[in-house]
């Protein structure tokens, strides 16, 4: 990842923000394109995952305003993304059919479904894997099925049989490096409370995608999920905020009472408010009056959003240190008892990163739990990027 100088963040960054908003000002974009450095702009857009947004806006400008080499690079990136989207969508439906024939229920989250719900175009945003929600009781059968289909399982059957729960069940197709991640109410540990998976299945919708329909979360549940996902990663990439802004502006029929209830179910009210605050402050997302009042009643969310804006432009180049991360997680959970309990659970819940190869994969979980804080300290303390 390139290192972005302050000058680039003062010129290319405002241009990216204007391109990522659901309500762009083309005059302002045209003015800022003139002073933008092409290579820096492309690198920043790539790191923030908003190359599709940049391409869509620049195509609306007079061709003379955009340097030919910049537009050529953007168009090439878009062509690659279209091919990736087509391949991944085809694989998605193949796997859904395979799962259905085996009696395995699955819901698609993020990825192409979110791209359609938020932007109306599965190739608008980039994604490197396919994410599916699958019940824990089906994980072993799903793993066997994916292995038989040519995928390599990062979490082997021996670990599943030992009852260990990873951060996700990751699979890589050996002939194409295509990634599939299986999630459920056990793996999604960044939800403050265990997510009500069966209710998610009950509230599922069908999203039109390339002439077929994909089973997906309701818009309300998806909105809460992507806000929790953004909070998990400290909102270090603009695409996560752009998704929130696009989803709430494109989906006019959102049931905001249902959104509030969904966030309440999992204790993610402040994570939701922070995501909406960022979408409004940075990308001019329009929110109903009652939602604005709810957001205003949570001043900590506004402070967290301002904190995010300090490290956001660098796209993770200068991430928060271990202490900042801990304080941020405490504040975004909230509550005198709930916040420290949440932080403690995250600090002591081992994932596959805390396991080691070989026999240690099946050793008692408390040993991995004790090792986890030390690994996190090394990762975000001494080994932190300068």
DSSP for 292-346?
HHHHHT-HHHHHHHHHHHHHGGGTTSS---HHHHHHHHHHHH-STTHHHHHHHHH
- Rounded Cα distance between 300 and 90, Å, is 43
Backbone angles phi, psi at 3, to 5 degrees: -90, 125
Given a cut of 70, whether residue 356 has pLDDT beyond it is no
Radius of gyration of the chain (CA): 21
Given a cut of 50, whether residue 382 has pLDDT beyond it is no
Q: Give the pLDDT of residue 359.
A: 42
Answer whether 348's CB lies under 8 Å from 366's CB: no
Given a cut of 90, whether residue 244 has pLDDT beyond it is yes
- Higher-pLDDT residue of 333 and 135 is 135
Q: Give the pLDDT of residue 354.
A: 63
Q: Give the pLDDT of residue 355.
A: 61
Residue of 162, 240, 146, 192 whose CA lies nearest to 345: 192
Alpha-carbon dihedral 56, 121, 85, 285, rounded to 10 degrees:
70
Residue 173, SS3 per DSSP: strand
- Higher-pLDDT residue of 199 and 3 is 199
Q: What is the pLDDT of residues 264-300, one digit of tens each?
A: 999 999 999 999 999 999 999 999 999 999 888 999 9
- Higher-pLDDT residue of 353 and 124 is 124
Given a cut of 60, whether residue 370 has pLDDT beyond it is no
What is the arithmetic mean of pLDDT over 213-240?
97
What is the arithmetic mean of pLDDT over 222-245?
97
Any idea what the Cα angle at residue 91 is, between residues 75 and 220, rounded to 5°?
A: 80
Given a cut of 50, whether residue 1 has pLDDT beyond it is no
| Structure tokens that stand for 316 in this block | 């993770």
| Confidence bin at 371 (pLDDT 50/70/90) | low
Any idea what the Cα angle at residue 240 is, between residues 284 and 20, rounded to 5°?
A: 40
> What predicted TM-score, i.e. pTM, was given to this entire model?
0.90
| Confidence bin at 352 (pLDDT 50/70/90) | low
Q: Give the pLDDT of residue 128.
A: 83
Answer whether 225's CB lies under 8 Å from 203's CB: no
Between the alpha carbon of residue 148 and those of residues 95, 141, 151, 173, 233, the distances in Å are 12, 11, 7, 11, 33
Mean pLDDT of the chain: 88
What is the arithmetic mean of pLDDT over 365-385?
54
Q: Give the pLDDT of residue 207.
A: 97
What is the arithmetic mean of pLDDT over 130-158?
96
| Structure tokens that stand for 11 in this block | 């010129």
| Structure tokens that stand for 173 in this block | 């197709």
What is the arithmetic mean of pLDDT over 154-172?
92
Any idea what the Cα angle at residue 242 is, between residues 241 and 247, rounded to 5°?
A: 105
Q: Give the pLDDT of residue 383.
A: 46
What is the arithmetic mean of pLDDT over 209-235?
96
What proportion of the chain, given as a percentage, has pLDDT over 90? 69
- Higher-pLDDT residue of 304 and 5 is 304
| Confidence bin at 145 (pLDDT 50/70/90) | very high
User: Residue written as tokens 């993020």?
Assistant: 110
Answer whether 331's CB lies under 8 Å from 300's CB: yes
Q: What is the pLDDT of residues 312-340, one digit of tens each?
A: 998 767 778 888 888 999 999 987 788 88
Residue of 368, 329, 367 whose CA lies nearest to 350: 368
- Residue 369: exposed, middle, or buried by beta-carbon count in 10 A (0-12, 13-18, 19+)? middle
| Structure tokens that stand for 291 in this block | 């939602």
What is the arithmetic mean of pLDDT over 225-247?
97
- Higher-pLDDT residue of 356 and 60 is 60
Residue 131, SS3 per DSSP: strand
Q: Give the pLDDT of residue 358.
A: 39
Given a cut of 60, whether residue 52 has pLDDT beyond it is yes
Q: Give the pLDDT of residue 357.
A: 39
- Higher-pLDDT residue of 357 and 140 is 140
The count of other CB atoms within 10 Å of the CB of residue 257 is 10
Q: Give the pLDDT of residue 101.
A: 97
What is the arithmetic mean of pLDDT over 377-381?
59
- Rounded Cα distance between 34 and 229, Å, is 35
Total residues belonging to the chain = 386
What is the arithmetic mean of pLDDT over 63-73?
91
């Amino acid at each position: 990842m390139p290192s972005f100088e302050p000058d680039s963040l003062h010129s290319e960054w405002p241009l990216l923000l204007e391109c990522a908003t659901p309500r762009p000002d083309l005059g302002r974009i045209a003015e800022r394109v003139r002073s933008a450095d092409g290579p820096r702009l492309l690198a920043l857009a790539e790191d923030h995952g908003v190359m599709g947004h940049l391409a869509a806006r620049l195509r609306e400008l007079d061709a003379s305003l955009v340097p030919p080499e910049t537009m050529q690079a953007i168009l090439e990136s878009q062509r690659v993304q279209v091919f990736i989207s087509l391949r991944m969508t085809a694989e998605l439906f193949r796997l859904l059919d395979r799962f259905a024939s085996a009696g395995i229920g699955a819901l698609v989250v993020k990825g192409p479904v979110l791209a359609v719900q938020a932007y109306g175009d599965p190739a608008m945003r980039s994604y490197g894997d396919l994410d599916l929600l699958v019940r824990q009781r089906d994980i072993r059968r799903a793993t066997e099925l994916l292995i038989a289909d040519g995928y390599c399982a990062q979490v082997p059957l021996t670990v599943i049989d030992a009852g260990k729960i990873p951060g996700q069940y990751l699979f890589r197709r050996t002939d194409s490096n295509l990634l599939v991640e299986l999630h459920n109410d056990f793996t999604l540990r960044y939800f403050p409370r265990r997510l009500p998976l069966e209710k998610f299945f009950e509230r599922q919708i069908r999203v039109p995608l390339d002439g077929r329909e994909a089973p997906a979360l309701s818009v309300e549940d998806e909105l809460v999920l992507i806000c929790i996902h953004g909070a998990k990663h400290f909102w270090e990439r603009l695409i996560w905020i752009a998704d929130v802004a696009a989803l709430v502006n494109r989906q006019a029929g959102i049931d905001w009472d249902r959104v509030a209830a969904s966030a309440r179910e999992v204790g993610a009210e402040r994570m939701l408010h922070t995501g909406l605050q960022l979408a409004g402050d940075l990308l001019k997302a329009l929110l109903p009056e009652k939602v604005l009042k709810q957001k205003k009643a949570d001043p900590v969310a506004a402070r967290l959003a301002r904190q995010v804006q300090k490290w956001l432009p660098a796209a993770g180049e200068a991430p928060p240190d271990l202490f900042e991360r801990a304080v941020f997680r405490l504040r975004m959970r909230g509550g005198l008892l709930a916040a420290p309990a949440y932080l403690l659970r995250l600090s002591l819940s081992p994932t596959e990163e805390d396991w080691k190869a070989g026999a240690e994969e099946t050793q008692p979980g408390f040993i991995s739990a004790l090792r986890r804080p030390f690994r996190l300290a090394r990762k975000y303390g001494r080994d932190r990027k300068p």
